[in-house]
Amino acid sequence: MDTLTIVFLMGLLGGVHCLSMCGGVVALLTSALPAELRSNAKQTSLYHLNYNTGRILSYILMGALFGLAGELLVNTLKMSALDHVLRIFSGVLMVLVGLYIANWYAGIQLLEKMGAKLWTKLQPISQKFLPVTSLKSAFLVGLFWGGIPCGLVYGALSFAILSGSAIQGGSIMLAFGLGTLPSLLLMAGFSSKLSEAIKKPLV
């Protein structure tokens, strides 16, 4: 199985975890829009697509940076031993991520705690674009929300750094992001239907 398929399936199978991390913002993404927009499924879909485009773009950028870092460390510096170490680390991390998705192992949360330091810098910026009132703000919220501490993202990034290429690293994270997309779009659709049902008068 090739790397792109692996990370795509990792994102797809980790859908429940994605909902726990991003479900809140997805459910409330269009809550501040005018009623006529919220009642239009096509319009709200555009907002969710923009949010997810921004989120996946942030993954691609991180993947490109990690891939470039791998290239500098392994190829430019001729550190062949490091390549073996990274591959072993990646394999171990993938097993741990799988156990984490199955709720059999919580140790991966240590990585999320480390990433929380970066998130404390990004979250206040993302808050400036909330509540979402335009397609642009939906995109920007997604762009910054991609930095939320997530063990699944870190697992996919380990493949990106091993690729030893900015282009391949970005492609790997694109595949991962596309894998996470179905669960979040389903959540968006469910939230929209639930909102409509609540607003309907009881007969």
State how far Cα 185 lies from the chain centre: 13
Q: How many residues does the chain have?
A: 203
Residue 164 falls inside a structural domain: yes
State how far Cα 71 lies from the chain centre: 23
Highest mean pLDDT: which range of 1-5, 117-121, 175-179: 175-179
Average pLDDT on 161-187 reads 93
Q: Quick check: 53 pLDDT over 60?
A: yes
Q: What letter would DSSP give residue 77?
A: S
Half-sphere exposure of 71 (CA within 13 A, CB side): 14
What is the share, in percent, of the chain residues with pLDDT greater than 90?
31
Q: Which residue has the higher pLDDT, 160 or 18?
A: 160
Cis before residue 149, ω within 30 degrees of 0?
A: no
Name the residue range of residue 109's domain.
3-11+52-115+147-194
Residue 46 falls inside a structural domain: no
Residue 47 falls inside a structural domain: no
Query: How much is the pTM?
Result: 0.84
The pLDDT mean for the chain works out to: 83
Residue 123 falls inside a structural domain: no
Residue 58 falls inside a structural domain: yes
pLDDT digits (tens, 9 = 90+) for 67-115: 999 888 877 766 666 667 767 776 787 787 777 777 777 666 777 777 7
Residue 30 falls inside a structural domain: no
Residue 132 falls inside a structural domain: no
State how far Cα 171 lies from the chain centre: 14
Structurally, the chain folds into a number of domains equal to: 1
Residue 41 falls inside a structural domain: no
